[in-house]
């Protein structure tokens, strides 16, 4: 299959492919998603096959408006409406209880709930409206690899397997949406993301966080969180700010090139080893989140390093999402200062 590239002026062609039950990757403010008609079971099944995604991992339903959510979900609570009003369109995915029989098992993984998201990207909102159906939207990467933040990342992973990619340039935020389960008594963050716990609490009060437990429990609430994720070929090691002099010295002793991902400030304060290949994370946790997945992919495709040293950030605000993704890509491995 030839994978076509669409732009803002050819959205109608992308919408035709969706209507015909084909797969089209689409841009969002977080990462690129892999779109298929959420009401067409055969189309949804193709998404799992293209990504190599386990079939028990449910998909996000991407919508252009709240009315579409109301068509499938049980009546929305006041808190759910407040969150939609404040953060939609935006990087917030809400898990809601479905009306019986709404949406197929291939979308929900057999759960009584589904994940709804209204992304802040005009091209994609137009695509959904022109297709006339909600579209499923997992990240448009091969399962296990870093999520795509540019159309060329999608092309690299899925060319020949999908009908097209709607290219709208690099995404802004760079890490995926916050997933909040609204189906229980207390709203629960299942995956930290573009909207922070502090931002949520400011609107709806009590919010709890379940993602620290995910991976350790048998049945994680967000099924996707138990799988290996975001892993480049190289071993990633997370480095705390005070460890950089030791980490640079360790890197210089390695026989091959070593990838180094830091902000400009860390680079200025520490001299890079000769075998160091630097990838800029910009200025702060916001730019670092924007560059994280692209950087990890860079070392897979344009370089060949055995190790990537990557800068850690404090787990506040967006830092929670950044560290969640970085820890997964590193398999929880931190750089250990050698004994002196
Ligand atoms: O920013 C994003 O959310 C991106 C863009 C493309 O929209 N999408 C994305 O989708 O990250 P995906 O499939 O890679 O991650 C969705 C997460 C998974 O961890 C999945 O297990 C969880 O949401 N999820 C989906 N439906 C669920 C449900 N009914 N209950 C609990 N977790 C659910
Ligand atoms: Mg994903």
Q: Which atom of ligand 1 is least distant from the CA of 32?
A: 6
pLDDT in tens, 216-239: 444 456 666 555 678 889 999 999
* CATH class of domain segment(s) 235-329: alpha beta
Note the pLDDT of residue 225.
Answer: 59
DSSP state of 98: B
CATH topology identical between 4-224 and 235-329: no
Note the pLDDT of residue 227.
Answer: 57
Report how far ligand 2's centroid is from the alpha carbon of 147 (Å): 6
Nearest residue to 154 via CA among 297, 330, 305, 326: 297
Decide if 120 contacts 89 (C-beta within 8 A): yes
Report how far ligand 2's centroid is from the alpha carbon of 138 (Å): 6
Q: Is 51 in the pocket of ligand 1 (CB under 6 A)?
A: no
Note the pLDDT of residue 218.
Answer: 41
What ipTM was estimated for this complex?
0.99
Q: Alpha-carbon distance 266 to 242, whole Å?
A: 10
Q: Is 308 in the pocket of ligand 1 (CB under 6 A)?
A: no
Phi/psi at 188 (5° precision): -130, 125
Decide if 195 contacts 120 (C-beta within 8 A): no
Q: What is the CATH number of domain 4-224?
A: 3.90.870.10
Domain ranges of the chain: 4-224, 235-329
Measured by CA distance, the residue closest to atom 19 of ligand 1 is: 224
* Ranges of the chain whose pLDDT falls below 70: 211-228, 340
Note the pLDDT of residue 88.
Answer: 98
Decide if 232 contacts 307 (C-beta within 8 A): no
Q: Is 142 in the pocket of ligand 1 (CB under 6 A)?
A: no
> Who's near 280: CB < 8 A, 6+ residues apart?
261, 262, 263, 264, 267, 291
Q: Is 30 in the pocket of ligand 1 (CB under 6 A)?
A: yes
């Amino acid at each position: 299959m030839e994978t076509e590239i669409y732009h803002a002026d050819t959205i109608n062609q992308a919408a035709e492919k969706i209507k015909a039950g084909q797969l089209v990757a689409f841009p969002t403010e977080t990462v690129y998603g892999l779109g298929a008609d959420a009401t067409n079971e055969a189309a949804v099944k193709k998404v799992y096959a293209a990504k190599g995604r386990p079939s028990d991992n449910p998909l996000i339903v991407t919508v252009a408006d709240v009315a579409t959510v109301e068509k499938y979900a049980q009546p929305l609570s006041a808190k759910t409406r407040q969150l939609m009003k404040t953060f939609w369109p935006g990087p917030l995915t809400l898990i809601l209880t479905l009306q019986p029989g709404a949406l197929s098992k291939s979308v929900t993984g057999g759960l009584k709930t589904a994940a709804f998201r209204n992304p802040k990207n005009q091209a994609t909102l137009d695509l959904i409206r022109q297709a006339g159906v909600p579209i499923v939207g997992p990240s448009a990467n091969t399962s296990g690899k870093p999520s795509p933040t540019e159309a060329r990342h999608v092309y690299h992973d899925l060319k020949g397997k999908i009908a097209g990619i709607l290219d709208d340039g690099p995404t802004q935020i760079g890490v995926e949406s916050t997933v909040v389960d609204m189906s229980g008594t207390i709203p629960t963050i299942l995956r930290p993301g573009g909207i922070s716990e502090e931002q949520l609490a400011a609107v709806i009060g009590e919010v709890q966080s379940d993602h620290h437990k995910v991976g350790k429990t048998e049945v994680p609430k967000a099924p996707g969180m138990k799988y290996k994720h975001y892993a480049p070929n190289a071993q990633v090691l997370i480095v705390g700010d005070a460890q950089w002099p030791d980490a640079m010295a360790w890197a210089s002793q390695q026989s091959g090139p070593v990838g180094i991902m830091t902000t400009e400030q860390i680079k200025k304060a520490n001299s890079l080893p000769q075998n160091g290949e630097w990838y800029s994370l910009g200025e702060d946790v916001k730019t670092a989140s924007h560059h994280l997945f692209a950087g990890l992919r860079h070392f897979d495709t344009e370089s060949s390093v055995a190790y990537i040293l990557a800068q850690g950030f404090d787990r506040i605000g967006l830092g929670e999402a950044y560290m969640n993704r970085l820890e997964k890509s590193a398999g929880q491995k931190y750089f250990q200062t050698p004994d002196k």
